[in-house]
Amino acid sequence: MMPDLDEYKWIVPDFIWELEEHIDLEKLIKAIPDADELAKLLPDFDKIGESFTSLKGLFSPGYNLVSEVIGASDLLLLLGSPGETAFRATDQGYDNDKQYKKGLLGELILLQQQIQQHEEETRRAAGQYNMGSSQQKRKVSDKEKVDQLQEELLRTQLKYQRMLERLEKENKELRKLVLQRDDKGIHQRKLKKSLIDMYSEVLDILSDYDASYNTQDHLPRVVVVGDQSAGKTSVLEMIAQARIFPRGSGEMMTRSPVKVTLSEGPHHVALFKDSSREFDLTKEEDLAALRHEIEIRMRNSVKEGCTVSTETISLSVKGPGLQRMVLVDLPGVISTVTSGMAPDTKETIFSISKAYMQNPNAIILCIQDGSVDAERSIVTDLVSQMDPQGKRTIFVLTKVDLAEKNVASPSRIQQIIEGKLFPMKALGYFAVVTGKGNSSESIESIKEYEEEFFQNSKLLKTCMLKAHQVTTKNLSLAVSDCFWKMVRESVEQQADAFKATRFNLETEWKNNYPRLRELDRNELFEKAKNEILDEVISLTQVTPKHWEEILQKTLWERVSTHVIENIYLPAAQTMNSGTFNTTVDIKLKQWTDKQLPNKAVERVIQHNALEDRSISDKQQWDAAIHFMEETLQSRLKDTESVIEDMVGPDWKKRWLYWIGRTKEQNIRNETKNELEKLIKCNEEHAAYLANDEVTTVRKNLEARGITVDPCLIKDTWHQIYRRYFLKTALNHCNLCRRGFYYYQRHFVDSELECNDIVLFWRIQRMLAITANTLRQQLTNTEVRRLEKNVKEVLEDFAEDNEKKVKLLTGKRVQLAEDLSKYLLYSVLELA
């Protein structure tokens, strides 16, 4: 029934049929070993079976008693240091670490043999006891044997635990002495940053980094989450061995994420990332100051209308015996928004917690209050969503002392620690006690209370809790071990990715800015700072002439309005030169005596310069005419603009731009035309309209059907007459160009009078003398004061990162920032 496949040979490529020509298949078949030789390479399954049989014998019924009394985790505690086994011995922690278990198998067998020998001695003693007390006809039950052996093993376990604690305490003191001895040379040599400090600095930089790269989401940190008032902050303080956080009774105290970098050092101190002040954690006044500073920073980071902030506060804590790691304390999760909180507080806290926990390399330290019902927990559901397999979660049950008193069934606590009560999984489960609820307790008193409680606790005596699962000390060892394992794995995984990204950034820089050096924002700011200071110093090189020109122009802008409106225009309305000069002198005297002393810039004006009327040469005369023309032309331009706004566009603009006049503009335009006729009839008209003239203009307009208010007529007249006066003054100024000869003869036998030119010369000379005085004052004192003020401003800017980000922007700056951040990460990788 098989089909004939010869017709389908064309489907197979030709080179398949040609393989036989190029490859000697017979030699290939001969080179392959036969079945007997392959069988020799396979493992000896009989020996493997024997090994499994011997391993099974370890857990035979004869050893069931030991398995019930002491678990594998307790054996590990007896065999080694808690620093090596505290985390690995959790029931569900590192179940797949086969290599580690193989290393302990020999020690386990040895210990099982010792326990077997101890069992045999116990049986013999029990037999002798039965033979000697046969008259009493009473036998010791198996249960009593188990109880006796349990008590004896518990005493042995506590004995080893105390020995380990004593040795660790001695080790801590010795390390402190070594660190203090090394610290003596701290002022003579510059110490390198520790690895944990460099790692923390990378996290600080990447937290503000461009989110499009997502680099900050790949680096490990320990994220401390829990319900509000569950004891998160207290656990963190016990790990840091100092009461460093502000606290309150039931109210929300953690209002923003706090990143705490723990490292070992000779002295127990704390300092902020952006400050050089060290807080001595052994002194209560420094502790109080630190708590107050953290509270102020939290409140300042919260924006108006909000309750919590996403801004991270970075704090470093150093001290003898501290486990090196980076922890982030997050605001407590709440179930209800109370009065005084922002409406979105609950959602904001959830989003902050998720943002930190969704990091695939973050270690989640889930804090659960043991004194409240487990059903009231909110954070466990949140953690189970972020880490459903529990591969990076460590569960911590706090306030176990209160739980033991209040819980009716102690087995409920055992269910929590074994991970059977919550719908979440974890690497390890721990139970801790962080004090009696008194905020004034010291860390040492809390440690003593915790150790005393667990030594006398029924939970430990009845083996509901295991020794490695209790105390914050074992917790910190386990968290530190897990943290550094995660750091090693994640840094190695991301090394290639960071190298590739840096190569791309360097290539982009070379292509876009081939001749420029890579200067980040701080380096650019320093460069700009130096250039600004150089510019300030270069003020001393400015020529006096340039100084005085700028000052004279600035002074005239300040006083020109008063001079034109209150001195020149009123004096120009007089009938003869004598009255003009008298009016000018009176107005100038009033100005210099009453108004100038009240001003700041004009206070140094030389009053005597205004009294001088003697123009010495033709050059000064021409300069005064030029000064007057510029002033009048500027005023005329402003007046033309005001009139245009009043009467609307002329016929050219109406045709070119297709715009029209409003009703009011039409009325003002008609009024303007009537007033211009009035001026043409009397070119020497006074500056003010008489009442009969106002009535005449109004009646003329009413005859054409236009109703006009007298106030509108007077207002329009003011601008029309002003324009006429300024044009007349400019024409007169042009005539006075040849009037210097008549001025020297006091205008005798001449109809030309140029007293207005003399007025503007007096004003100009006053401005020149004042500018010269100010220039001397500036070059002597003000430049140095300016340099000092500029330095202070630049120093303030240097400390304000937000200001630098706002001032220094652009693609080039951002690319240089990216390069510098990746360079720092490369340094960490090398370390």
Does 535 have pLDDT greater than 70? yes
Q: Which residue did the predictor score with more confidence, 250 or 98?
A: 250
**Per-residue confidence (pLDDT) for residue 460, from 0 to 100:** 75
- The 3-class secondary structure across 434-451, one letter per residue, is CCCCCCCCCHHHHHHHHH
The residues that bridge with 315 in the sheet, in sequence order, are 260, 272
N residues, the chain: 831
Residue 229 — pLDDT band, cuts 50, 70, 90? confident
Closest by CA position to 238, among listed 452, 88, 398? 398
The residues that bridge with 262 in the sheet, in sequence order, are 317, 325
Q: What number of CA atoms fall less than 13 Å from residue 367's CA on the CB side?
A: 27
Sign for the pseudo-dihedral over CA of 198, 819, 223, 385:
negative
Q: Which residue did the predictor score with more confidence, 177 or 242?
A: 242
Does 307 have pLDDT greater than 90? no
Cα 379 from Cα 820, distance rounded (Å): 38
Q: Which residue did the predictor score with more confidence, 379 or 111?
A: 379
- Averaged pLDDT for residues 28-40: 55
Closest by CA position to 471, among listed 72, 170, 86? 86
Contact (Cβ atoms closer than 8 angstroms) between residue 277 and residue 347: no
Q: pLDDT averaged over the chain?
A: 75
- Averaged pLDDT for residues 614-633: 91
End-to-end alpha-carbon separation of the chain, Å? 72
Question: Where do the DSSP E strands lie in 250-399?
Answer: 258-264, 269-272, 279-280, 313-319, 325-329, 363-369, 393-398
Residue 224 — pLDDT band, cuts 50, 70, 90? very high
| b/e code 589-602 from CB counts within 10 Å (16+ = b) | eebbeeebeeeeeb
Cα 469 from Cα 476, distance rounded (Å): 11
Q: What is the pLDDT of residues 253-299, one digit of tens each?
A: 788 899 898 888 888 899 888 888 889 988 889 988 998 898 888 88
**Per-residue confidence (pLDDT) for residue 514, from 0 to 100:** 86
Contact (Cβ atoms closer than 8 angstroms) between residue 822 and residue 505: yes
Q: What is the pLDDT of residues 164-191, one digit of tens each?
A: 767 766 666 666 666 555 554 443 334 4
**Per-residue confidence (pLDDT) for residue 311, from 0 to 100:** 87
Alpha helices in 399-442 (DSSP H): 400-406, 411-417
Q: Which residue did the predictor score with more confidence, 441 or 163?
A: 441
Cα 394 from Cα 222, distance rounded (Å): 10
Contacts of 554 (CB under 8 A, 6+ apart): 601
3-state secondary structure (DSSP) of residue 508: helix
Residue 627 — pLDDT band, cuts 50, 70, 90? very high
- Interhelix angle 195-207/811-830, rounded to 10 degrees, is 160
Q: What is the pLDDT of residues 327-354, one digit of tens each?
A: 899 988 888 888 778 888 888 898 888 8
The residues that bridge with 261 in the sheet, in sequence order, are 316, 326
Residue 687 — pLDDT band, cuts 50, 70, 90? confident
Question: Where do the DSSP E strands lie in 168-310?
Answer: 222-226, 258-264, 269-272, 279-280
Does 74 have pLDDT greater than 50? no
Does 54 have pLDDT greater than 70? no
Token couple for 629? 């023309």
Residue 450 — pLDDT band, cuts 50, 70, 90? confident
Residue 86 — pLDDT band, cuts 50, 70, 90? very low
- The 3-class secondary structure across 70-82, one letter per residue, is CCHHHHHHHHCCH
3-state secondary structure (DSSP) of residue 612: coil
Residue 211 — pLDDT band, cuts 50, 70, 90? very low
